[in-house]
Amino acid sequence: MNLFEQLDAYLHDTLHVSLPAFGPELAICATILLMLVIRVLPGGNRFDSFYVALVGMGVALWWAAPWDAHTVARQEIFTGLLVYDPWTAYFRGFLATFALLFLIFCKISGIVDREDSPDFYTLVLGGLLGMCLMAASNHLLMVFLGVEMASVPSYVLAGIIKSRRDSSEAALKYAVYGAGTAGIMLYGISLLGGLLGSVHLPTMAHRLAELLMAAENSGGDLAQGELLVLALGGLMLAVGLAFKLSAVPFHFWCPDVFEGATAEVNAFLSVASKAAALALLVRVAFGMTSIPTPAVEVEPPVEVAGFFAVADEPVEGESPSDVSASTAEAETPPSLETLSPEEASSALAPARTYVAGLIALLAAITCTFGNLAAYGQTNIKRLLAYSTIAHAGYMMMPAAAAVVLIGRDPVNAQQAVASIATYVGIYLFMNLGAFAVIAFLRNTMGSEEIADYAGLVRKSPGVVVCFALILFSLVGLPPLAGFLAKFEAFAALANAEMWTLLAIGGLNTVISLFYYLRVVKVMAMSPEPDHRAPFRFSLVSVPGAYVVAMTLPLVVLILGWDTLQRLTLTAASRLLS
């Protein structure tokens, strides 16, 4: 195969295979460019970028479809850097939906003036682009790129209010932490890549399986050092992910950033960023511990030599892809041929134990710490920062369960993963609603201290009822949607028979009651302060309607919960064979 044929093949792959599956990202890129271009046109700075962003995200959402179709197969794009499967589709749809709701939220709360709007929306969309890549990554290089592309705009967003000192402090803290953990993650990736000879996740899983099998056969002595380095590499990779998830002990940025940044940015960080990080966690955790479904070879008969993907298609079996008599196969060590998927899967059992244990430990600590630390907070944004930390813990629990279940029953493992997607979907409304209330209250009464919410129920009973419902949903009380999220997560743990983690999760639910309830208690039961400036915030207003629109799904979801469940089960359906 000469150079031209090679180029031809790449061209074909890029234009006809990869780019069509890359639509939403392209739409986001185009929107960003458009916003920047309009600004430099004469008179463009009087134009509100909100509408461009809104239309752009609408297109992205439309392009993200079909995200509930069973027809989406697992398909590696851009020579294995990214993967397009229902999981990708779900999270791209989720992120685009979130972006639409978020844009409307920002417009209503008026956080950005016309002057700044291109800056703000460019950063938001830029971050979203990175998050889409995180959800779709199939390659540790893309993992790193996605994390960085999502993080860098977030640093700026945290400090978007230039005049506020604590805002700038928050941004700096965030950036320093981010840089530090990114460095550690990169080191971890290099360790893993160096030892396994690839950073393409499916290839890594195969190599890992071989290595573990060899270690087992040799009685455990041979590869002791290598295994140690592997474990270290995995740990370092986990540091980067834990930072994005704000998991303990890499959460220190979170309360400060949430207190310093505006409620709008908090909503962005707590929902979109966390969702992408969870999607990525599942990608990495599953990628390292399971042998995925053979990717569907898409039409072109021209073989695309894996440039990034060293062994593009190592799974043989009955897969038709072994027509590839190319470099990929030549480089494949012979032992791989003899390793059937079942053998490989069972060889990966120690890796699963390690990964599941690591995630479970992080989840338990994160959840408990977040809930305990939230107890003493007086600032509502700081309280919700700890609440998001705690919820990150809850959301990581089913990931641990899923990894455990891979070895037992793939169908159950997928159900466990689907519960993460459900949780994220419900979490969107809970946190967007909570931060919307906070932002609107900031606009009307100029305070974000819990003490200033005292007796709010006299002034705006409707808003307090909605906020109380959102907070109780965060506790996880039936019949609110937060309970359904928690129920599915706990069900995954029960299915994996992880009783200790389940008990910790249950205990945490009880602990979390205290601080959410305190906010409700202050609003509903404390007497109103005498010196409060008069204000009006009724549900019959645009902000009020937005709050209702966020609360209503939480109340009625229990009636048609199976719709969401089917969607998420589909999303998880191709992660394992």
Partner 1 sequence: MSPLFLLSFVIFAPAVGALLLAFFPKEKGDAIKIFTLLVTLVTFLATLYMALPADGDAESGKFSFAEENVAEIQNVVSLPWIDTTAFRMDYLLGVDGVSFPLVLLTTFISLLSMGASWNIEKHVKAYCILFLLLETGILGVFLSLDLFLFYVFWEVMLLPMYFLIGIWGGPRREYAAIKFFLYTLVGGVMMLIAVLMLYFASDIRELTPDQLAAAQVELPEQETDSPVHTFNILALQQLGQHTGQFSHELLAGKSLQWWAFLLLFLGFVIKVPSVPVHTWLPDAHVEAPTPISMILAGVLLKLGGYGIIRLCYPICPEAGYQLAWFVCLLGVVSMVYGAFAALAQKDFKRLVAYSSVSHMGYVVLGMGVWSATAGNLYDADAWKMGMNGAMFQMIAHGISSAGMFFMVGIVYDRVHHRNLDEFGGLFGRMPVFSGIAVGIFFAGMGLPGLCGFIGEVFVTLSVWTYSKALAVITASVVILTAAYILWTLQRVYLGPAYKGPHGEALTPITPRELAIAAPLLAMAIVFGVYPMAVFNYMAPAVNRTVDDMAAWAQRTQAGAPAPETANITPPVSLAAMETPSLRDTDQNMQD
Residues that bind partner 1 (CB under 8 A): 409, 411, 415, 418-419, 472, 477-479, 483, 487-488, 490-491, 493-495, 499, 502-503, 506-507, 509-510, 513-514, 517, 521, 524-525, 558, 561-562, 565-566, 569
The pair phi, psi for residue 571, each rounded to 5°, is: -55, -35
The CB-of-510 to partner 1 minimum distance in angstroms stands at 5
CB closer to partner 1, 243 vs 467: 467
The C-alpha atoms of residue 503 and residue 89 are separated, in whole angstroms, by: 33
CA distances for 217 relative to 42, 223, 348, 351, 512, angstroms: 72, 10, 14, 16, 48
The CB-of-491 to partner 1 minimum distance in angstroms stands at 6
Instruction: Please name which of 82, 186, 179, 185 lies closest in space to residue 130, comparing C-alpha atoms.
Output: 82
CB closer to partner 1, 51 vs 375: 375
The C-alpha atoms of residue 75 and residue 187 are separated, in whole angstroms, by: 29
The CB-of-569 to partner 1 minimum distance in angstroms stands at 6
Residues forming beta bridges with residue 139, ordered by sequence position: 200
CB closer to partner 1, 135 vs 493: 493
Are β-strands 82-84 and 75-77 bridged in parallel, bridged antiparallel, or unpaired? antiparallel
- 512 token code pair: 């979390």
Can you tell me whether residue 111 is helix, strand or coil? coil
Is the CB of residue 280 less than 8 Å from the CB of residue 200? no
The C-alpha atoms of residue 76 and residue 138 are separated, in whole angstroms, by: 8
The CB-of-302 to partner 1 minimum distance in angstroms stands at 39
- 9 token code pair: 């093949």
CB closer to partner 1, 68 vs 316: 68
The CB-of-420 to partner 1 minimum distance in angstroms stands at 13
Is the CB of residue 571 less than 8 Å from the CB of residue 86? yes
CB closer to partner 1, 187 vs 487: 487
Which conformational region is residue 137 in: left (phi greater than 0), alpha (psi within -120 to 50 degrees), or beta?
beta
Sorted by sequence, the CB contacts under 8 Å of residue 179 that are 6+ apart come out as: none
The CB-of-370 to partner 1 minimum distance in angstroms stands at 17
Amino acid 225 reads: G
Sorted by sequence, the CB contacts under 8 Å of residue 376 that are 6+ apart come out as: none
CB closer to partner 1, 83 vs 457: 457
CB closer to partner 1, 193 vs 407: 407
The C-alpha atoms of residue 298 and residue 2 are separated, in whole angstroms, by: 22
The C-alpha atoms of residue 439 and residue 4 are separated, in whole angstroms, by: 57
Is the CB of residue 28 less than 8 Å from the CB of residue 60? yes
The CB-of-189 to partner 1 minimum distance in angstroms stands at 34
The CB-of-418 to partner 1 minimum distance in angstroms stands at 7
The CB-of-475 to partner 1 minimum distance in angstroms stands at 8
The CB-of-364 to partner 1 minimum distance in angstroms stands at 15
CB closer to partner 1, 248 vs 413: 413
The C-alpha atoms of residue 476 and residue 331 are separated, in whole angstroms, by: 51
Q: How many CB atoms lie within 10 A of CB 433?
A: 29
CB closer to partner 1, 197 vs 462: 462
Can you tell me whether residue 185 is helix, strand or coil? helix
CB closer to partner 1, 353 vs 412: 412
